[in-house]
Amino acid sequence: EVQLVESGGDLVQPGGSLRLSCAASGFIVGSNSMSWVRQAPGRGLESISLIYSGGNTFYADSVKARFSISRDNSKNTLYLQMNSLRAEDTAVYYCARALLHFGVVSGFDYWGQGILVTVSS
């Protein structure tokens, strides 16, 4: 059974850092493209980062230069390192597996349960 379990969410002060983890089971993280999608309270979905199976990474402008996506194949785990956090980064963060077809995301087929990150003083 495929499962994604996020951890690491917390209350953090503006300017602080946090690392989210997403432990996968039922498939190999390193052989798949993976993404982080966030949802601010009462708002819609925002795709913020993608790591391709080959290792290339991508970031939305809203998090570029502050967030870093990575993976540990030995632990079958995806990470999101978040630095210089702002109040507007407050959201539920989901990790998701991205299905790619001819280089295009044809859907996020498995999602974690979501983890809350609150940035506030």
Which residues sit at the interface with another protein, rule CB under 8 A?
A: 35, 37, 44-47, 50, 58, 60, 94, 96, 99-101, 103-109, 111-114
Q: In whole angstroms, how close is the CB of 65 to another protein at the nearest point?
A: 16
Of 15 and 107, which has the nearer Cβ to another protein? 107
What CA–CA distance (Å, rounded) separates 80 from 38? 12
User: What are residue 65's DSSP bridge partners?
Assistant: none
SS3 26: coil
Q: In whole angstroms, how close is the CB of 90 to another protein at the nearest point?
A: 17
Of 55 and 103, which has the nearer Cβ to another protein? 103
CA 3 vs. chain centroid, Å, equals 15
Using alpha carbons only, what angle is made at residue 110 by residues 42 and 26, rounded to the nearest 5 degrees? 145
Of 29 and 92, which has the nearer Cβ to another protein? 92
Of 23 and 105, which has the nearer Cβ to another protein? 105
What CA–CA distance (Å, rounded) separates 6 from 25? 12
Q: In whole angstroms, how close is the CB of 96 to another protein at the nearest point?
A: 8
Q: How many residues does the chain have?
A: 121
Q: In whole angstroms, how close is the CB of 15 to another protein at the nearest point?
A: 27
What CA–CA distance (Å, rounded) separates 18 from 89? 11
